[in-house]
Amino acid sequence: MKSMFIVNGISTKLGFKELELIADILPDCEENALIFHELALSKSSEVRTAVACKEHLMAETAEILLKDTSIMVLCQILKTDIGKACLNKSELTRLIELGSIRLLKRIVMELDQLVNEFGCCDMKYIIEQLIQHQDPLIRYDLSGCDIPINYLNILAHDHDESVAMNAQTTLNDLDYIF
């Protein structure tokens, strides 16, 4: 990517650090969607991460970022509505299979919106992908979510005490609601 900054016919070359700053400071609005798209094609994960934070991206840009190899880019794009809206079941499966704890935690945090607001896939599918994860941190986060009671009951009997206690607390909190 060749990047130039031009003012009144005077130009200078820009490196990835300058492009990252530009991506950060450009207003997050539709008028900048084409610039964000070009920046999303950068070889720098720093620049792509700065772009992935933006809400006013074209769907094509979000789809490019959802296929990124950088976990930071993926975590950032999953925080945005456009990223969640462009995510489909096969892409979600790929993200889960990457196995990044940071990324899996982000998926758990966005679980309700991914399922209920954006219809990425059904909750059962995501939960069944995560409930057996070897890292108790993922199961712990899942046990504190608004998930069906049958899954909370499974987690309440988890072999990790912290996971089991958190699931039981969530179940107890549900008793107060009903």
Half-sphere exposure of residue 172: CA atoms within 13 angstroms, side-chain side:
7
Degrees, nearest 5: CA angle 113-117-122: 75
pLDDT of 67 above 80:
yes
Please indicate, yes or no, if residue 127 is contained in any of the structural domains.
Answer: no
Q: Is 111 within 8 Å of 126 (Cβ atoms)?
A: yes
Residue 25 maps to a domain: yes
**HSE-up of 89 (CA within 13 Å, CB side)?**
9
- In one-letter notation, the amino acid at residue 62 is A
Give pLDDT tens digits for 148-177: 999 999 999 999 999 999 999 999 998 755
Residue 131 lies in a domain: no
In a domain, 95, yes or no: no
24 vs 44: CA distance, rounded Å: 14
> Which residue do the tokens 């880019």 mark?
73
Residue 125 belongs to some domain of the structure: no
pLDDT in tens, 72-122: 999 999 999 999 999 999 999 999 999 999 999 999 999 999 998 888 888
pLDDT of residue 177: 56
Helix H, strand E, coil C: the string for the chain is: CCCEEEECCEEEECCHHHHHHHHHHCCCCHHHHHHHHHHHCCCCHHHHHHHHCCCCCCHHHHHHHHCCCCHHHHHHHHHCHHHHHHCCHHHHHHHHHHCCHHHHHHHHHCHHHHHHHCCCCCHHHHHHHHCCCCCHHHHHHHHCCCCCHHHHHHHCCCCCHHHHHHHHHHHHHHHHHC
Mean residue pLDDT across the chain: 94
The answer to whether residue 74 sits within a structural domain is: yes
Domain count of the chain?
1
Whole-angstrom distance, CA of residue 57 vs CA of residue 39: 11
Instruction: List residues bridging with 12 in a β-sheet.
Output: 5
Structural domain contains residue 153: no
Calculate mean pLDDT across residues 128-140: 95
Give percent of the chain above pLDDT 90.
Answer: 88
In terms of residue numbers, what domain contains 4?
1-86
Judged on CB neighbours under 10 Å (0-12, 13-18, 19+), 57 is: buried
Let me know if residue 154 belongs to a domain.
no
